[in-house]
Structure 1
Amino acid sequence: MRPAPRRPFLLLALLPLVAGLLFGPAAPGAAASTAPPQRILLAGQSTKAAWDDLSSVTDAPAGGSVYYELASGTWVSPAHRDYATFLASQGRTVQIGISWKDNPPGYTGGDRAARSRAVTQELADGQYADRFATLLSFVNQYPRATFLLRIDYEVSSTFHCTDSSCSSYKNAFARIRALIDGGKHQGNVQYVYHPVRGEYAQLYPGDAAVDRIGVSVFAHELCLPIYDNGYLYNGTPPANYDTGTLQCRNPYIGTDSWGNPAAVWKDWDYDGNVLGMMKFAQDHGKTMIVSESGMMNFTADNGATDGLEQTRGALWTQRLFGLLDYRGPIPNQPGTYDLSRVVTAVTYIDLDFRYGWDAVPDGTFDFPPDSTWFVDGRLSRYTTARTAFCQGLADTGFTTRCR
């Protein structure tokens, strides 16, 4: 039987084209930009204690963050392994930092950065392939989970580049990706490039190798002060920091009264390198993950989580979520930009840092009072910061919300 004519469907299909000819194309991204992108929240890092505290405030996060080291070819500790197992067995997202800069294979003392650079080149040359066997076996056990593999973290020319081209790191990144791709059984692995904020372009392994770009967001990145044994610093030159507003002070390229390019000075809530990295990611078609974020010692009161610490914690939280929705100029660049869809995941380190990175009060890794990390970063211990965090989750499209 001859099919019925399909002319009405053809006319419907042509309507957008006709409208475009008559009225011009729709504004790019007009419909898509009316709502924030769907974002995920991860509980970091290292132990399930972070998950337990964060999920006492929020619904179950989308996943968590742990570390795996090249030197031993396994998890940094059994706690990391157990937390990764807890997450993966539920089909959640597991961010895994594959680290060698902290403990380079073969390091026995002396210049650790030099040994890390040498290991980076050795990785590029194909060495240490056996150190990934435990990781590959773990990934293949959990096909429902999503794995975000950071090929080392906060990578820099100091620890990862043997020359100005940084080909050592770029080639190591590609070699590790090829090794894992060749051994995994399913397509649930993504590769994260996580540089220090000032060298994101220099070490970039290329669009074909990178799935996401990671960034750390602590105090420097949000132009907030850190107190360390009485010394205040925020990661920018003193002349570029406004102590009254707790902001960075930098110029962007605007125009003068005659319409010519001119430097315009303003105060910023964000480090210019972070905004520059977000634009870089957007230009390369990559989304970003805040791979590490957490409160630091914002006050000189020995890290007590009351008084000004509460106020600074709330300000830190508001700026973190404001960064996700950023629209505006970028220091030292012309024009304004909509970067509100670049960051699609955030890892919040919900630990009591006073007891070290493992947050276990056993006296082994405790930070000294009044030092950079001497602060209780558990969200449950705050009031205004917790309220701001819950509001931020709701306003910026997170799949996890507060209870």
Structure 2
Amino acid sequence: MTHRSGPAPERPRTLLLILLLLACVLPLDGAAAAATVPADDSPGASAGQRTLLIGQSSRAAWNDYTSFAQAPAGGSVYYELSSGTWVNPAHADYAAFLAGRNRTVQVGISWKDNPPGFPGGDENAKAARSRAVTQELADGKYADRFATLIDFIDAHPGATFLLRLDYEVSSYYHCTDASCSSYKKAFARIRSLIDAGTHQNNIQYVFHPVRGEYEKLYPGDGPVDRIGVSVFAHELCLPIHDLGGYLYNGTPPDNYDTTALQCRNAYIGTDQNGNPAAVWKNWDYDANVLKMMKFAKDHGKKMIVSESGMMNFTEDGADTSGLEPVRGNLWTQRLFGLLDYSGPIPNMAGTYDLSDVITTVTYINLDFRYGWDGEDDGSFDFPPDSTWFADGRLSRYADARNTFCRGLATAGFSTTCG
């Protein structure tokens, strides 16, 4: 686990100098409330600051984002077990670009999408092979597949690496039995392997589960440095449009409010006599996300939004721009609201201050219409009215971009739009 910190401040000589420094550094828009957030371990982050990573996979996302904002703390790429290297040259290039500038590099080390030894077949067959590979990793197999990554980390001692040991892990792809010992042991084995092969302390290990199985697959407080979460649509209780209809986080009208675009769940409050009672309310956030945040806090772990981005929130098959001018802004508001959440949690009693849990956000600043890497090759990779047909580049929006920039400032990020 890395222990990087920001530079020590110079000692002020006079009271006047102290006052001048405070006037320069204190925000003018109420951002001082974010000062309780612990320091992130990323370059440029100091006490009370969060960090932003821009993903994913290529410098195109970085270039678009920095066309209107300060350079972020880092970015996100992918490395695959099957080939023992980066998923493609664009990932390798982006990783070198980030690490060469001593930035933070989030690396998703994946085997579920392309498990070694998978001959082909349907998703069930691929999942079965992924589960087998997870157990093989726990048993010490495939150690040679990490050599390229270990050498890369060693070559960049000034960078910070956040290693996701597969991403959006689940029992379907990673557990050979109900105990999920296969994944837990694989996580610990991979960590030990990489730690033994590297020569500096600039790595943190991220446990990134699907939102409903964080407790079942948790490898333990020892191996895990941070807990990751994906935030797309249902995590923020927004509907997803897909091929002629909407997918809701809940069943309208009892468990989803289609007018307010919010989930409906009950938490344990009290009745007029002070007795425990179910209190129904609308929520901007998925119950499992809030529970995962509490779980992380209970275990003394900070969280990273390892993946986040806009999806197809609205129905208009004739519009091929992929833009979400209204709900894209709502999505952005809810994303930053999640960072400072304090209140009840569905199906639980009491209220909880979770405003210091998430310290890093990865935003996927890509045009998903052209596929997961967002590279415009002249043809769309998804149908115009499908889930992923969305242009998530913040440069394409006015309201969402302004909301994003305000959020960076008020939530205490180390870099803003400047």
| Counterpart-to-counterpart distance in 2, 1:371 and 1:115 | 29
CA contact (8 A) 1:71 1:104 kept: yes
Aligned to 1:379: 394
CA distance in 1, matches of 2:104, 2:315: 37
Per the TM alignment, residue 362 of structure 1 is displaced from its structure 2 partner at its CA by 1.7
**Counterparts in 2 of 1:268 and 1:167: CA distance versus 1, 3 Å:** same
Match of residue 207 from structure 1: 221
Establish whether residue 151 from structure 1 lines up as the match of residue 165 from structure 2.
yes
- For residues 401 and 376 of structure 2, the distance between their equivalents in structure 1, rounded to whole angstroms, comes to 24
Task: Tell me whether 1:45 sits opposite 2:56 in the alignment.
Answer: yes
Cα pair 1:74 1:131 within 8 Å, conserved? yes
Q: Secondary structure at the match of 1:377?
A: coil
Give the match for residue 237 of structure 1.
251
State the partner residue of 2:360.
Answer: 345
After superposing on structure 2, the runs of 4+ consecutive aligned residues of structure 1 that deviate more than 3 Å are 31-37, 302-307
Query: Which structure has the greater CA radius of gyration?
Result: 1
1:65, 1:33 → 2: CA distance?
25
Partner of residue 296, structure 2: 281
Is the 1:305–1:382 contact (alpha carbons within 8 Å) kept by the matching residues of 2? no
| SS class of match (2:272) | coil
Do 1:219 and 1:296's aligned partners in 2 also have CA atoms closer than 8 Å? yes
Following superposition, the deviation at residue 363 of structure 1 comes to 5.3
TM-superposed CA distance for 1:88, in Å, is 0.0
1:188 aligns with 2:202: yes
CA contact (8 A) 1:57 1:379 kept: no
Counterpart in the other structure of 1:294: 309
CA RMSD of aligned residues (A): 1.5
SS of the residue 1:310 aligns to: coil
Q: Counterpart of 1:321?
A: 336
**CA displacement 1:241-276 (0-9 Å, x = unmatched):** 110100000000111111111110000000000000
Over residues 108-129 of structure 1, what are the superposed CA-to-partner deviations in whole Å (9 max), with x where a residue is unaligned? 1231111100000000000000
Asked whether the 8 Å contact 2:35–2:412 carries over to 1, the reply is no
Q: Residues 306 and 375 of structure 1: is their aligned pair in 2 closer, same or farther, counting only changes over 3 Å?
A: closer
Secondary structure at the aligned position of 1:56 is classed as: coil
Give the Cα separation in 2 of the matches to 1:300 and 1:33.
37
- Aligned counterpart, 1:134: 148
Q: Is the 8 A contact 1:219 1:234 kept in 2?
A: no
Cα distance, 1:393–1:32 mapped onto 2, change above 3 Å: closer
**Can you list the C-alpha shifts for 1:342-393, whole angstroms capped at 9, x where unaligned?**
0000000000000001111225771221110101100000010001001100
| TM-score (norm. length: structure 1) | 0.90
Partners of 2:294 and 2:354 within 8 A in 1: yes
- CA 116–365 in structure 1, closer or farther in 2 if over 3 Å, else same: farther
Where 1:149 maps in the other structure, the secondary structure is: strand
The TM-score, its normalising length taken from structure 2, stands at 0.87
Q: Tell me the equivalent position of 1:107.
A: 118
Alignment match, 1:218: 232
Secondary structure, aligned partner of 1:264? strand
How far does the alpha carbon of each residue in 1:140-174 deviate from its partner, in whole angstroms, 9 at most, with x for none? 00000000000000000000000110000000000
CA distance in structure 2 between the partners assigned to 1:148 and 1:33 by the alignment: 23
Change (3 A) 1:164 1:244: same
Contact 1:42 1:65 in 2 (8 A): yes
2:70 aligned partner: 59
Contact (CA 8 Å) 2:138, 2:185: kept in 1 or not?
yes
Rounded Cα–Cα distance in structure 2 between residues aligned with 1:86 and 1:34: 31
The answer (yes or no) to whether the contact 2:36–2:356 under 8 Å persists in 1 is: no
Q: 2:187 aligns with which of 154, 173, 176?
A: 173
Give 1:68-107 correspondences, 5 Å limit.
Answer: 68-107=79-118
- Rounded to whole Å, the distance in 2 between the matches of 1:376 and 1:67 is 21
1:247 matched to 2:262? The reply is yes
Question: Percent identity, aligned pairs only?
Answer: 73
Partner SS for 2:228: strand
Superposition pairs for residues 117-128 of structure 1, below 5 Å?
117-128=131-142
Q: Is 1:391 the counterpart of 2:406 in the alignment?
A: yes
Task: Give yes or no for contact 1:353–1:376 (8 Å, CA) kept in 2.
Answer: yes
How is 1:12-27 mapped onto 2 (pairs within 5 angstroms)?
Answer: none
Letter in 2 for 1:156: S
> In the aligned structure 1, how far is the partner of 2:380 from the partner of 2:129?
24
User: 2:272: which partner in 1?
Assistant: 257
Q: Secondary structure at the match of 2:264?
A: strand
CA distance, structure 2, for counterparts of residue 329 and residue 39 of structure 1:
24
Would you say the 8 A contact 1:120–1:172 is kept in 2?
Answer: yes
Does residue 362 of structure 1 match 2:377? Answer: yes
Gaps spanning 5+ residues in structure 2: where? 1-31, 38-47
For 2:178 and 2:294, locate their aligned partners in 1 and report how far apart those are by CA, in whole Å: 23
Deviation at 1:230, TM superposition (A): 1.3
The one-letter amino acid of 1:252's match is: Y
Other structure's SS at 2:359 match: strand
Give 5+ residue unaligned stretches, structure 1: 1-30
Q: What SS does the corresponding residue of 2:164 show, helix, strand or coil?
A: strand
Take 1:280 and 1:248, find their aligned partners in 2: how far apart are those partners? 21
In structure 1, distance between residues paired with 2:78 and 2:313: 26
**Which segment is superposed worse, 294-303 or 277-286?**
294-303
Q: For residues 183 and 206 of structure 2, what CA distance do their matches in structure 1 show?
A: 13
Aligned to 2:3: none
CA distance in 2, matches of 1:213, 1:57: 30
Aligned-residue offset at 1:59: 0.1
Moved more, 72-81 or 298-307: 298-307
Q: Number of aligned pairs?
A: 372
